[in-house]
Structures are given as C-alpha cells and as structure tokens.
C-alpha cells in the first residue's frame, strides 16, 4: 500500500505570506517559516509546497531531488506547442472543432497542460483533479491566467472549469452533457524530457495509481453516456485492460486511443 506523502507549505523568497497561509489552512498542512526546515527536520518531508515570488510550486526533497515544478500556463512552452502544431493529434482524437463549443471532461487533470491545449483549440473543458494539493495548484494557475494582462490567456482560462474531486463523482447530468471524456493515466516518464520527468516525479509522490487503478478508471469511463473516450498512452504500451480502441492517433512520444460510444458512432461519421 502506498504511504501518504509528507508535505508542508513553505514561504520562499518574495512569496505571498497570505497565499502561503491560505494554502496551509485549506490543505491542513504545516506552514514553515524557512523552506529548509521541517516539523521534525528536513528529512521528515517528501515534498514542499513552496510559495515564492513566482507563485506556488512543488519541490521534491531528498537525495537527487529535482527542482520545483509549477502549474503555470504562461511559461512559453504552451505557446511553442501551439505555434508548431503539436496539438493536432489530441485535437483530432477528441474531434475538437467538429462542432462549436465542444464539451470535454478531463478526468485526470494533473497539471492540466492537455486541458489547456484543448481549451485553446476551442473546447469547454471541465478539469477533474481528486488530489487536493494538485487541485489547489490548478485553481491558482487558472485564476492567475484569468487575471492575466494577456487576452489569449484570459480567453482560454474562461473555457476551463476546475472540479476538485474524482471524476467518478460527477453528477450524471454533467456526464451526459459532455461530448467526450479524456483520460491521461500516470505512466513512467522514461525517455521523456527533463521537465516532463520532474513533473512525473511529483505526480508519483502524490498519486497512488497503478495499472489496475487506471484500468478500472477506463472501464468506468467506457460505461458513461459520452460520444467518445480518449486515453493517452505511451506509444508502445498495450491498450489499458486489453481493450482495443477503434483507432489510435500517434503523438510525439505518446498515442491517443479512441473509443467511440456505439450509440453515437453513426452521428460521429456523418
């Protein structure tokens, strides 16, 4: 059984003390005056939720730990991804653009980079994140984008709605109103770029997921009244649970397995 990660909130250089206190209280975590301290010494913690001049970040601790990982939508990488056409596979897999105002539920929010891309492509995206710390970071990132001086960021933030809960707790009416369900179950980051590896390390600390849990989530998703379910997988990995998709679309390092709902299949082909 996976042990619960040991976390604390720490105020870093230039950080907002009010935000640090707010996060500590909302998450029920200790608030440290110094990022180098811990309740029983630094070695007692797995992660710090660090609030510094750049906003909140998660910083793994221990030997060989990576640097801080932030949930941000204004770091330039998403603009690069957009300019260079790296959104095509996920957009085609979810049929974004086929109809205006498409509604997508992202059931595994994480750092919500894919949700942001889908919103950039024009979809209305409900982002579900059951892990409280990740949900808090997502809430801050969406609020920051919504208050940005950049009209592009504000527009996309307006198409993102955060639900800080397990996707399986959504009301039946919310699921029935969606066009598609998107899942990105956690998988090892081998071969991915350093930034992605840092994010994966943080997710592995926070989420107690394995292949069986991911398979159960996909099984649930395929029973929902949506037109299609799309599952993100490593390019060479087998389909989750041995369920063959109708087709797959390759990305740069991943693929998107597409499962149309038979009740809507004819409508999708028209």
Query: How far apart, in whole angstroms, are the C-alpha atoms of residue 146 and residue 140?
Result: 10
Sheet holding 254-260, edge to edge: 160-163, 124-128, 103-106, 180-183, 228-234, 254-260, 247-250
Per CATH, is 77-269 categorized as 3.40.50.150?
Answer: yes
Reported as a single tens digit per residue, the pLDDT across 198-243 is 666 676 667 666 788 889 999 999 999 999 999 999 988 899 888 9
Predicted TM-score (pTM) of this structure: 0.85
CATH number, domain 7-60: 3.40.1630
Query: Alpha carbon 9 to chain centroid distance?
Result: 21
Band of residue 195 on the pLDDT scale cut at 50, 70, 90 = very low
Q: Is the pLDDT of residue 158 over 90?
A: yes
Q: Is the pLDDT of residue 259 over 80?
A: yes
Comparing 270 with 107, which gets the higher pLDDT?
A: 107
pLDDT number for residue 63: 73
pLDDT number for residue 213: 87
Q: Are strands 247-250 and 254-260 parallel, antiparallel or unpaired?
A: antiparallel
Comparing 169 with 185, which gets the higher pLDDT?
A: 169
pLDDT number for residue 101: 82
Q: Is the pLDDT of residue 37 over 60?
A: no
Reported as a single tens digit per residue, the pLDDT across 98-122 is 777 899 999 999 889 999 999 999 9
Domain positions in the chain are: 7-60, 77-269
Band of residue 265 on the pLDDT scale cut at 50, 70, 90 = very low
Q: Are strands 180-183 and 103-106 parallel, antiparallel or unpaired?
A: parallel
Comparing 198 with 27, which gets the higher pLDDT?
A: 27
- Show Cβ contacts of residue 147 under 8 Å, excluding neighbours closer than 6 positions: 154
Query: How far apart, in whole angstroms, are the C-alpha atoms of residue 168 and residue 149?
Result: 35
């Amino acid at each position: 059984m996976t042990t619960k990660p040991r976390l604390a909130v720490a105020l870093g250089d230039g950080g907002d003390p009010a935000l640090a206190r707010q996060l500590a209280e909302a998450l029920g975590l200790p608030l440290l005056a110094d990022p180098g301290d811990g309740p029983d010494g630094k070695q007692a913690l797995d992660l710090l939720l660090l609030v510094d001049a750049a906003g909140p970040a998660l910083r793994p601790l221990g030997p060989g730990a990576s640097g801080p990982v932030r949930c941000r939508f204004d770091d330039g990488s998403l603009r690069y991804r957009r300019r260079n056409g790296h959104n095509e596979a996920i957009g085609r897999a979810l049929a974004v653009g086929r109809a205006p105002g498409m509604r997508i539920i992202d059931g595994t929010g994480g750092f919500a980079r894919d949700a942001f891309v889908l919103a950039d492509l024009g979809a209305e995206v409900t982002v579900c994140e059951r892990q409280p710390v990740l949900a808090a970071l997502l809430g801050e990132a969406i609020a920051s984008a919504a208050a940005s001086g950049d009209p592009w960021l504000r527009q996309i933030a307006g198409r993102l709605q955060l639900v800080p809960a397990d996707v399986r707790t959504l009301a039946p009416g919310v699921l029935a109103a969606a066009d598609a369900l998107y899942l990105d179950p956690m998988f090892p980051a081998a071969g991915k770029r350093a930034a992605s590896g840092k994010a994966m390390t943080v997710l592995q600390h926070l989420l107690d997921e394995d292949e069986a849990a991911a398979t159960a989530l996909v099984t649930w998703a395929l029973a929902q009244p949506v037109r299609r379910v799309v599952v993100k997988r490593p390019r060479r990995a087998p389909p989750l649970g041995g369920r063959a998709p109708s087709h797959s679309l390759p990305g740069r390092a991943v693929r998107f397995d597409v499962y149309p709902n038979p009740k809507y299949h004819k409508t999708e082909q028209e």
